[in-house]
Amino acid sequence: MITRIVTPSESGKRLHRYIRSLMPNYPLGQIYKMIDQGKVKVNGKRKKDTYELTAGDELTIWIEEETFKEAAIGAVDKKVKFAGVISKIDVVYEDAELLVVNKPAGLLTHPDQTEQKDTLITRVHAYLHKKEELDSRMFLPATANRLDRNTSGLVLVGKTAGMLHQLNDLIRKRELDKLYMTVVEGTVAEGGTVDARLIRDERGNRTRVVKDGAAAAGSGREQEEKDAVTRYKPIQAGRGYTLIEVELISGRTHQIRTHMQSIGHPLLGDVKYGGKPFEDVRHQLLHAWKIVLADGRTFTAPLPTLFRSVLRKTGIDFDLSK
């Protein structure tokens, strides 16, 4: 059995063409036959050969490993190139199946139209390749969670198909705790919960709270409404700002940024969602600092230098290590 996770750059490719890119030496007729016989599944379900894949789809192919290796000869050199790719990453934890990485702000988690080569996942692949632990013909390690470019902190990587499936299952069942630190405008006197449905406008790259049962007008390419719950509690207030800890009960794109704006406390520097620049900080000051797995394993990442500098300048005396 071979497992692959579709990357954003591969999104939109039809199923039979995607498999052909993995197995260039395998007859196309045999690929169609595999799909028809249910030996290829997407997210556990049978699909037609014309199905258009989307980023995050989990593809499973039932085929002998040796047969796959022979069919994939030449594909690796074309798909995975490590010359010049940064392999240095901030490893928080690693074992044979799981890798936990501390992503810096400013780095994309996955490739997109603006950057294909230098992203967190390409650095992870280069890191594992350097350790001779990567065989992309069999399985390409992938992230279970994703952070925005300018959000720093913990990202979980499944080094094996089994671990990636476990992590995705934990996230889907909400059996994994994700905690963030951020600085918001204004004084937050007490904690609370924001339970507000969100809708995503991909063309405008914005997320909005659905008010009164209907979303505001957008670009016409909004996705379906999704439930979203965010819990927050103040840690310490400073001069016009508050350091808060946020727990994501659900995980939607730009959820924290949108929810905090909706209650009148946009994130410091988050000009996209109503925040004001702070000196040279013109992006959200948001850090995924803690993840707790269902088995009790806990991972933490220290606050970045920029984050600590902003805290000092806003009069907030806080040490995450306490």
Taking CA 242 as the corner, what is the angle to CA 237 and CA 246, rounded to the nearest 5 degrees? Answer: 125
**Distance from chain centroid for Cα 254:** 11
Stretch (H or E) spanning 129 = helix 120-130
The encoded tokens of residue 183 equal 């600085």
The encoded tokens of residue 65 equal 């490993």
The CA distance from 216 to 222, in Å, is: 10
The CA distance from 191 to 195, in Å, is: 13
Closest CA to 105 of 155, 156, 148: 148
Q: Do the Cβ atoms of 239 and 278 come closer than 8 Å?
A: no
The encoded tokens of residue 173 equal 């069942």
Q: Do the Cβ atoms of 53 and 18 come closer than 8 Å?
A: yes
- The alpha carbon dihedral of 157, 161, 163, 169 has a sign of positive
Cβ neighbours of residue 221 closer than 8 Å, sequence gap 6 or more: 201, 202, 203
Closest CA to 23 of 42, 40, 36: 40
The CA distance from 205 to 219, in Å, is: 10
Which are the catalytic amino acids?
148
**Distance from chain centroid for Cα 250:** 13
